[in-house]
Amino acid sequence: MKIDSEKVRVWAIARALNAANLILEKKGRCCLYPSLLDGKRVGFGKKNPLVFSETSLLIASEGGRAIPCLKSILGSPLLSTKRIARLLGISRHLKSNLVSRRQLDLMLIVGLEVTACYMNYHFKIRGMFEIESGHAQFFLNEDGSVLASILKNSDELWVVKSGKINNTPSVRLGFKDILTGIESCLGILDHNRATALGEFLVKGRIPLIDKIGYASRFAFSELSFFK
């Protein structure tokens, strides 16, 4: 799928919300699978999608309120109500001050999904990754558990996977503990200081993780999910 650079922010928001839903709703009872629709609209859900204008989603990402299109609500009132409630719940979780493994999983997946969208589609970022390859893995150093990975798939697109996968990583980034990981996702961690103190570990092909870090900082200069 081709995404114009002007739609990258909207697509990143949609992808991130879907990823957050998959973390919070393991049984998949409320589908938020995203799609770009005609007329500068975005749909959530494969069947009778809940539809928002692109402008409405951008306003919501800046702290405003997204208003769904009335026609999509009337087409499936019960399903639409469930999806609206789920989106509001995701918003509350993303802005929570809770320090837990689930919160770290949520924030990391959202951050990586946004970053991957920019790596794939933003004209200022994608050139850095067109001939790049590899697999960056993120893990929790205190127990060795794998949190997530970002890697290029067979379609030459960067994708995010939660948990452990079979591919051998080319670079691994480890957080000392849950709090360190959450602070990194929030962008308030001094990575140089954390590395010096052993709170932030990087092993493998460091240039790849440096590029991903740059793409992430660029993306979150345009979007904010955690404020």
Distance CA 176, CA 78 (A): 44
Rg of the chain over Cα atoms, rounded to whole angstroms, equals 17
The boundaries of every CATH 3.30.1050.10 domain in the chain are 101-222
Please report the pLDDT score of residue 192 as a whole number.
79
Average of per-residue pLDDT across 174-187: 92
Please say whether the beta carbons of 171 and 202 come within 8 A. yes
Share of the chain above pLDDT 70, in %: 97
Assign 3-state DSSP to the chain and report helix, strand, coil percentages, each to 5.
50, 20, 35
How does residue 112 score in pLDDT terms, banded at 50, 70 and 90? very high
Distance CA 84, CA 80 (A): 6
Distance CA 175, CA 202 (A): 9
Amino acid found at 59: I
Average of per-residue pLDDT across 139-153: 92
Please report the pLDDT score of residue 1 as a whole number.
66
Write down the mean pLDDT value for the chain. Answer: 90
Is domain 101-222 in CATH 3.30.1050.10, yes or no?
A: yes
Average of per-residue pLDDT across 198-223: 91
Average of per-residue pLDDT across 15-21: 94
List the structure tokens of 3: 């995404």
Please say whether the beta carbons of 141 and 194 come within 8 A. no
Query: At residue 226, does pLDDT exceed 70?
Result: no
Average of per-residue pLDDT across 198-225: 90
Share of the chain above pLDDT 90, in %: 67
